[in-house]
Amino acid sequence: MFKPTQVKQQEKLEEKSKLDTEKREVKQIEKAPKITKELVEEEKAYRRGTLTIRDLIAPASMQVRPDHLRLGEKFVRTIFVIGYPRYISVGWFAPIINMSTTFDVAMFFYPVKSALILKQLKKRVGALEAQIIADAEKGAARDPLRETALRDIEALRDALTQGTEKFFQFALYVTIYAEDKDELDNLTDQIEDIIGSRLVFSKKVFFQAEQGFNSTLPLANDELSVTFNMNSSPAASSFPFISSELTSDNGILYGINRHNNSLILFDRFSLQNANSVVFATSGAGKSYAIKLEVMRSLMMGTDVIIIDPEHEYKHMSDAVGGTYINISLASENKINPFDLPSAIAGGAKPEDIIRSAVITIKGLIRLMLGELTHEEDSIVDRALLETYAKKDITATSDLSKVEVPIMQDFQDILEGMEGGADLALRLRKYTLGTFAGLFNSPTNVKMDNQLVCFSVRDLEDELRPIAIYDIITYIWNVVRSEMKKRILVIDEAWWLMQHEDSAKFIYALVKRCRKYYLGVTTITQDVNDFLTSPYGKAIVTNSSLQLLMKQSPAAIDLIQKTFVLTEGEKYLLLESALGEGIFFAGMKHAAIKVVASYTEDQLITSDPRQLLEIEEAKKEFAEQMESEEGAGAEGQEPENMSNMET
Ligand SMILES: Nc1ncnc2c1ncn2[C@@H]1O[C@H](COP(=O)(O)OP(=O)(O)OP(=O)(O)O)[C@@H](O)[C@H]1O
Ligand SMILES: [Mg+2]
């Protein structure tokens, strides 16, 4: 039932509650400032008790003295440059940068409007010319100083007007840090001497120690304001990184320059040839450095082929999706030494191709059979040509359509030849005997991957040089067939330097590969053997890139002679730590430290302890994935069931 009084009551009640809430809100607002203030105080008190990064890095105290600061335990002083000579060479500042002490350098460049300078220069020219004319009228001797100044100014006026030069006010400050006052004074003298020897004049701060320190903080805050007028070329010559030649725009990171902590970035294909040699004692980090180079080169699109006698590139190869080919007596992979390149860039004649193949195979036969007499040599030569001819491979054939012979064919020919029976008998070991199978079948490996590794670890020591020779012949054929940017890494190259024929072969390869866009990296720990061999030495001279790491005292003298090292560099190599050495690129060289990122390190390490850990982590991960998959499948079922029920 509808009752008007009830409605009124209801309205009153509503009004009252509205008023109440309003009152409450007002009260709350009145109370609020108090609460906020308390909160702020509390927050402040809390913050006072916590550490910030600023607290951590700030020195405990700072004391300002007339000519230096004491920053906690350290003594700090700033030196500023006040004047430069008329002529200054590029990189004059580098000796300071390369000093192995702690210091901060600040350079300020204040651009000045060219018009302003031109006006000033015009006035100077007027004054100088007037003086010169006056001298001439008086019949006085000419003044070379004035004439030089006039010429300099005129040249500068031209350059500024043409816009090839800009004008700056340039400020250069160096702040040094020392443990005590004596050291600070010594260091100051040292720096002033080095700068002074370039006829650059400097002074140390006096009653401006704090301003000096502030000016060299990375805040772009010049509180000293001691500037010198300069145009762009001399200002640029103060740029400190002269080892920039080892830092090029393109290429890959080889390591850190230990002289000045800059990066050694280099593109080996920008040099005369792209070959490189790496020498160091066992365990110095040769393979590690090259694996890093390989991974980084792959990223830049270079193809890489590796000959791996230690089975240590497998992990990396798997990680980057490379092809890993195991060559052994038991493996399925075969390479036929009689292969011919399908086509040669530049279109060589079949005649030349066959001749060069015969010479290469003869080298292999000599490795297999040992020294050959002159008669035997000519028999082998003739037999090889006949072996090819038997398969219709002659000077007139189209090499892309032929079927190449195998070792058995060669042996058959030898047996049928006068005086060849003995050779055939010696060769039987490789066609029928224990070593059969490795060299006596058509090639069935393919190199159609960006990274291809050939492992020869599982081969008998005796067979290893022969197999590597065979593999490199094959690679050489592929390289000549298709032009591509490629790197061939031959790890433990001393296997090949043991025999003259294989050493000669590598040398020929290193000498000729530039034309096919290939760079060969030879890694060896047997420095003495390598460098005393004439072929080894020639390989070094034909390699523009050289990496020397820790050397043994037994080998250091030979190394020093070969690479023309100073005494300092000699000791640097003797005392090098893991991954440290000297990096040569053409004529330039620098001390290097090879560094890898964590991920890279995980992929390339050969430390057995680390490898075991990685294997275990892999296993754990696989198990975890499995159990998660299982749990996921089980968990899904009931849910579906309940869905169906509803
Ligand atoms: N720059 C580096 N940083 C960290 N670890 C490194 C570095 N260089 C090498 N190592 C580690 O040192 C060990 C030896 O390195 P590596 O296998 O490259 O030696 P090697 O000179 O090739 O020796 P060998 O001549 O016996 O093949 C490896 O366990 C590798 O992980
Ligand atoms: Mg190695």
Per-residue pLDDT of 514-557, as tens digits, reads: 989 999 999 999 888 889 889 999 999 999 999 999 999 999 99
Which of the ligands is closest to the CA of residue 593?
1
* Cα(285) to centroid(ligand 2), Å: 7
Residue 255 has pLDDT above 90, yes or no: yes
Phi and psi of 81, rounded to 5°?
A: -95, 135
Distance from Cα 633 to the centre of ligand 1, integer Å: 44
Distance (Å, whole) CA 473 – CA 480? 11
Reduce the DSSP state of residue 258 to 3 states and report it: coil
Task: State the Cα–Cα distance between residues 424 and 431, nearest whole angstrom.
Answer: 10
Residue nearest to atom 1 of ligand 1 (CA): 579
For the full predicted model, state whether its pTM sits above 0.85.
no
What residue's CA is closest to ligand 1, atom 16?
285
Residue 567 tokens read as: 């005494």
pLDDT of residue 633: 54
pLDDT digits (tens, 9 = 90+) for 12-40: 777 777 777 777 766 666 655 566 888 88
244-323+449-461+479-596 and 336-442 agree in CATH topology = no
Residue 288 has pLDDT above 60, yes or no: yes
Q: What are phi and psi of 349, to 5 degrees?
A: -80, 150
Q: Which ligand is nearest to the CA of 288?
A: 1
Question: Any idea what DSSP says for residue 193?
Answer: H
Return the residue whose CA atom lies nearest to atom 9 of ligand 1.
Answer: 285
Q: Is the pLDDT confidence value at 626 over 90?
A: no
58 CA → ligand 2 middle, Å: 46
Which ligand has an atom closest to residue 285 CA?
Answer: 1
Atom from ligand 1 closest to the CA of residue 593: 1
Task: List, for residues 414-449, the tens digit of each pLDDT value.
Answer: 998 888 888 998 888 888 877 877 888 899 888 889
Q: Whose CA is nearest to atom 15 of ligand 1?
A: 285
Could you give the dihedral angle defined by the CA atoms of residues 460, 507, 524 and 438, in that order, rounded to the nearest 10 degrees? Answer: -20
Determine which of 61-65, 298-302, 534-538, 585-589 has the lowest per-residue pLDDT on average.
585-589
Name the residue of 254, 282, 288, 313 to mutate for ligand 1: max ligand atoms within 8 A of Cβ: 288
Q: Which class is 336-442 in CATH?
A: mainly alpha
Among 360, 370, 308, residue whose Cα is nearest residue 336: 360
Residue 23 has a pLDDT of 74
- Torsion of Cα atoms, 383 then 467 then 366 then 530, to 10°: 150
Task: Ligand 1, residue 607: give the atom nearest the CA.
Answer: 29
Our measurement of the distance from residue 405's CA atom to the centroid of its chain's CA atoms, rounded to an integer in Å, reads 44
E strand or H helix that includes residue 625: helix 608-645
Which of 296, 547, 578 has the most ligand 1 atoms within 8 A of CB, as the residue to mutate? 578
CA dihedral 198, 201, 206, 212 (to 10 degrees): -60
Q: Which residue has better confidence, 618 or 277?
A: 277
pLDDT value at 241 more than 60: no
pLDDT for residue 549: 95
Tens of pLDDT, residues 70-102: 999 999 999 999 998 888 877 788 788 777 788
CA gyration radius, the chain:
39
Compute the distance between CA of residue 361 and CA of residue 381 in angstroms, rounded to an integer. 9
Residues in contact with ligand 1 by the CB-under-6-Å rule are 280, 282-288, 525, 578-579, 594, 596, 605-607
Q: How far apart are CA 501 and CA 444, in angstroms?
A: 26
Distance (Å) from CA 592 to ligand 2 centroid: 18
Asked if pLDDT for residue 203 goes beyond 50, the answer is yes
To the nearest whole number, what is the mean pLDDT of the chain?
87
Do residues 215 and 222 lie in contact, with contact meaning Cβ atoms separated by under 8 Å?
yes
Query: Which residue out of 277, 282, 606 has the highest number of ligand 1 atoms within 8 Å of its CB and is therefore the one to mutate?
Result: 606
Extents of the domains making up the chain: 78-237, 244-323+449-461+479-596, 336-442
Dump pLDDT digits (tens) for 473-516: 999 999 988 889 999 999 999 888 888 888 999 999 999 999 89
Atom in ligand 1 nearest the alpha carbon of residue 255: 1
Neighbours of 37 (CB within 10 A): 10
Count of residues in the chain: 646
Q: Give the lowest-confidence range in 238-242, 322-326, 506-510, 555-559.
A: 238-242
Cα angle 334, 336, 342 (rounded to 5 degrees) comes to: 115
What does the block give as tokens for 452?
């291809």
Residue with CA at minimum distance from ligand 1 atom 2: 579
* pLDDT given at position 500: 87
Predicted local confidence at residue 336, as pLDDT: 92
Q: How many CB atoms lie within 10 A of CB 418?
A: 6
> CATH assignment of 244-323+449-461+479-596, given 2.115.10.20, 3.20.20.370, 3.40.50.300, 3.90.320.10?
3.40.50.300
Give the pLDDT confidence score for residue 163 in this predicted structure: 85
Q: For ligand 1, what atom is nearest to the CA of residue 594?
A: 1
Helix axis angle for 350-369 and 500-512, nearest 10°, is 150
Question: Nearest 5°: phi and psi at 222?
Answer: -90, 100
Residue 284's pLDDT is 93
Q: How far is the CA of 349 from the centre of ligand 2 (A)?
A: 40
The three-state secondary structure class of 186 is: helix
Q: How far apart, in whole angstroms, are the C-alpha atoms of residue 510 and residue 276?
A: 9
Ligand 1 atom closest to residue 604's alpha carbon, by position in its atom list: 31
Of ligand 1's listed atoms, the one at least distance from the Cα of 580 is 1
| Tokens 């390369």, located at residue | 98
pLDDT of residue 635: 46
Ligand 2 center to 462 CA (angstroms) = 20
